[in-house]
């Protein structure tokens, strides 16, 4: 019995070894020959362009440190494909609003990418309390004339907040004399950038030792500018039918309180959610308006939600 048992153990071991060898030496069989299943998914290093700039101001790519930092942002934004596609889709919806406002202030078109990295073109709130597409803090918003309270928060008004962002950028440009430091100041504050320049005895952004967020700030902007300028080069393939668009709207002026926003929305053939989507600066299901201020609400044209 012991002899037979040992033989069975030896035989079983040999069979197991045979299966293992077969598994590692045989070629896989694909059910759909010629399909994408037989293609490898490869990750490639990226060639850093010879020239990159922000608002016409060159990035000093001759520095190894600068090359590594832009390489990081190009890689992160190229291979985070789902996020990249969403940014392309949203930018098609909102850049046509941002671009003419930037132009009206004489601000370079590259600053549209600042909004892209600030919020992903969404009405988000940062841990520090900055809100909206342009991530405006409450004191800054009030300083530049936005109404901010529990009932109305105009930081969520896309167009008004874009005007505020432009005014702040121009103030920073006047202080520092170049667009690169003006953009950095949008993130770290005019006082913050001024102090760091003074403390470190340098005159330019790329010579500053900064914290993680501000240190990556311009590199993220320039990386997205490069990717958005040549999307297919970085593997993004889409056509216009895949992109988002803003609906046509008309304006309704209101200088009284709105006690019931649900019924107000219904009077225009909308529900409450639809009204708030187009007017996110309304923070409650009612509008107090004790001062009889004139507000402008955007209403999508008839048929947009009933196609």
- pLDDT (tens digit, 9 = 90+) per residue, 174-201? 999 999 999 999 999 999 999 999 999 9
Compute the distance between CA of residue 262 and CA of residue 267 in angstroms, rounded to an integer. Answer: 9
- Three-class SS state of 142: helix
**Tens digit of each residue's pLDDT (9 = 90 or more) over 243-254:** 999 999 999 999
**Tens digit of each residue's pLDDT (9 = 90 or more) over 130-184:** 999 999 999 999 999 999 999 999 999 999 999 999 999 999 999 999 999 999 9
DSSP code, position 168: H
H helices of the chain, in order, are 2-25, 64-79, 81-104, 112-119, 138-143, 158-176, 179-188, 190-200, 212-229, 261-266, 272-278
CA-CA-CA-CA torsion sign (137, 141, 143, 147): negative
For residue 284, which of 263, 300, 261, 264 has the smallest C-alpha distance?
261
Compute the distance between CA of residue 182 and CA of residue 173 in angstroms, rounded to an integer. Answer: 5
Residue 280 predicted with pLDDT over 70: yes
Compute the distance between CA of residue 165 and CA of residue 159 in angstroms, rounded to an integer. Answer: 10
Compute the distance between CA of residue 270 and CA of residue 276 in angstroms, rounded to an integer. Answer: 10
CB 104 within 8 A of CB 163: no
Compute the distance between CA of residue 183 and CA of residue 210 in angstroms, rounded to an integer. Answer: 14
Q: How many CB atoms lie within 10 A of CB 20?
A: 10
Average pLDDT of the chain?
Answer: 89
Task: Label residue 41 by pLDDT band (50, 70, 90).
Answer: confident
What is the Cα 266 distance to its own chain's centre?
Answer: 33
Task: Label residue 39 by pLDDT band (50, 70, 90).
Answer: low
User: Residue 159: its pLDDT value, please?
Assistant: 97
**Tens digit of each residue's pLDDT (9 = 90 or more) over 73-127:** 999 999 999 999 999 999 999 999 999 999 999 999 999 999 999 999 999 999 9
């Amino acid at each position: 019995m012991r002899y037979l048992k040992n033989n069975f153990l030896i035989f079983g071991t040999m069979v197991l070894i045979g299966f293992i060898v077969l598994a590692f030496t045989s070629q896989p069989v694909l059910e759909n020959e010629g399909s994408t299943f037989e293609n490898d998914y490869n990750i490639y290093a990226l060639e850093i362009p010879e020239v990159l700039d922000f608002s016409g101001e060159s990035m000093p790519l001759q520095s190894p440190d600068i090359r590594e930092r832009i390489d990081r942002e190009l890689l992160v934004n190229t291979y985070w494909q789902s996020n990249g596609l969403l940014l392309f889709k949203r930018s098609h919806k909102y850049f046509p609003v941002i671009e003419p406002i930037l132009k009206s202030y004489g601000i370079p078109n590259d600053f549209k990418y600042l909004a892209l990295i600030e919020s992903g073109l969404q009405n988000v709130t940062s841990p520090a309390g900055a809100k909206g597409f342009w991530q405006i803090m409450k004191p800054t918003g009030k300083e530049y004339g936005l109404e901010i309270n529990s009932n109305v928060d105009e930081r969520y008004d896309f167009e008004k907040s874009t005007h505020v962002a432009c005014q702040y950028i121009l103030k920073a440009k006047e202080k520092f004399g170049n667009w690169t430091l003006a953009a950095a100041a949008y993130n770290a504050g005019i006082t913050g950038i001024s102090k760091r320049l003074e403390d470190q005895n340098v005159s330019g952004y790329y010579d500053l030792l900064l914290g993680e967020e501000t240190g990556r700030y311009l590199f993220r902007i320039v990386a997205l500018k490069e990717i958005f300028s040549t999307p297919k080069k970085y593997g993004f393939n889409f056509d216009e039918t895949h992109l988002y668009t803003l609906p046509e709207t008309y304006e309704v002026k209101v200088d009284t309180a709105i006690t019931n926003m649900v019924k107000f929305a219904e009077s225009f053939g909308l529900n409450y959610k639809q009204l708030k989507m187009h007017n996110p600066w309304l923070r409650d299901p009612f509008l107090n308006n004790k001062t009889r201020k004139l507000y402008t609400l955007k209403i999508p044209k008839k048929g947009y939600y009933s196609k």
